[in-house]
């Protein structure tokens, strides 16, 4: 199998990380991978906010936890069940104590597609450095908090994609969850 496919197929959502920082140069390469994603009209409507500071992450986690719990309370039983084992394995079920969190922020008619492509590029690139990642939707529940909006410098109309967490997987990459066979039609 070629290396690109290995990284695509080997990417896993990782939810437990070593307490080990990611070198700045590698973070730079992940950002470059995101920035190289295709975008409508080559508009590149994204910007990236990287949280590496531990105190900052802990503050985010503290703010996010009650919002996550409230969200979970209102969610269907299947979601509650799915989250049970994750929640019992960590005191940070939102950012998983990850050494890096990346918010991709974008605005414009194709931003939903463009920014999601940038996110996937970054997660696949991370895999090539043996770095695990996870898109954590719950991590954006805090963007309504005024201090966080200010910190992320969120302007009118800007949306947040991810955030994604990155770090060296504790105990290696987890096994893939079951994946359905693709539905394909050929003519
Ligand atoms: C849009 C989106 C939102 C997600 N939000 C979360 C999240 O809040 N917390 C989490 O632990 N995983 C989250 N995930 C990860 C998915 O649970 C994961 O991709 C899925 O279970 C498949 O596992 P895999 O990524 O290892 O293939 C999210 C993934 C996507 C694409």
- Percentage above 90 pLDDT, the chain: 99
In whole angstroms, give the CA distance from residue 120 to residue 87. 25
Contact 130, 172 (CB under 8 A): no
pTM, rounded to two decimals: 0.97
Residue 172 domain-assigned? Answer: no
Residue 1 domain-assigned? Answer: no
Distance 62 CA to ligand 1 centre (A): 21
Per-residue confidence (pLDDT) for residue 156, from 0 to 100? 94
Q: Is the pLDDT of residue 123 over 90?
A: yes
Residue 52 domain-assigned? Answer: yes
**Total tally of structural domains belonging to the chain:** 1
Band (pLDDT 50/70/90 cuts) for residue 136 is very high
Distance 187 CA to ligand 1 centre (A): 32
Band (pLDDT 50/70/90 cuts) for residue 1 is confident
Band (pLDDT 50/70/90 cuts) for residue 132 is very high
Closest atom of ligand 1 relative to the 96 alpha carbon: 11
For the segment 156-173, the average pLDDT, to the nearest whole number, is: 97
pLDDT digits (tens, 9 = 90+) for 31-84: 999 999 999 999 999 999 999 999 999 999 999 999 999 999 999 999 999 999
Q: Is the pLDDT of residue 8 over 90?
A: yes
Give the pocket of ligand 1 (CB within 6 Å): 12-13, 15, 134-138, 176-177
Residue 94 domain-assigned? Answer: yes
Closest atom of ligand 1 relative to the 93 alpha carbon: 11
Residue 179 domain-assigned? Answer: no
Range of the domain at 93: 13-167
CATH number at residue 53: 3.40.109.10
Residue 7 domain-assigned? Answer: no
pLDDT digits (tens, 9 = 90+) for 104-122: 999 999 999 999 999 999 9
The closest alpha carbon to 124, from 21, 3, 1, belongs to 3
Contact 34, 122 (CB under 8 A): yes
Per-residue confidence (pLDDT) for residue 106, from 0 to 100? 98
Q: Which residues of 41-71 are buried (b: 16+ CB within 10 A; e: fewer)?
A: eeebbbebbbbbeeeebebbbebbbebbeee
Average pLDDT, rounded, for the chain: 97
- Compute CA 88 distance to the chain's CA centroid, rounded to the nearest angstrom: 20
Residue 107 domain-assigned? Answer: yes
Residue 178 domain-assigned? Answer: no
In whole angstroms, give the CA distance from residue 139 to residue 131. 19
């Amino acid at each position: 199998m070629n290396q690109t496919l290995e990284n695509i197929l080997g990417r896993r959502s990782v939810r437990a990380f070593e307490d080990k920082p990611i070198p700045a140069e590698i973070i730079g390469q992940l950002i470059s991978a995101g920035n190289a994603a295709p975008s409508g009209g080559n508009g590149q409507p994204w910007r990236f906010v990287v949280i590496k500071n531990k105190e900052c992450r802990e503050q985010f986690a503290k703010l996010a936890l009650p919002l996550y719990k409230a969200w979970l309370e209102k969610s269907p039983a299947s979601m509650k069940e799915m989250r049970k084992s994750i929640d019992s394995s960590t005191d940070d079920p939102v950012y998983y104590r990850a050494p890096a969190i990346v918010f991709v922020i974008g605005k414009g008619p194709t931003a939903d597609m463009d920014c999601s492509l940038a996110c996937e590029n970054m997660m696949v690139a991370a895999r090539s450095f043996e770095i695990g990642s996870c898109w954590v939707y719950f991590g954006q529940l805090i963007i309504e908090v005024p201090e966080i909006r200010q910190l992320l410098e969120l302007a009118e109309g800007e949306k947040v994609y991810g955030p994604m967490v990155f770090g060296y997987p504790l105990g290696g990459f987890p096994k893939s969850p079951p994946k359905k066979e693709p539905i394909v039609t050929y003519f």
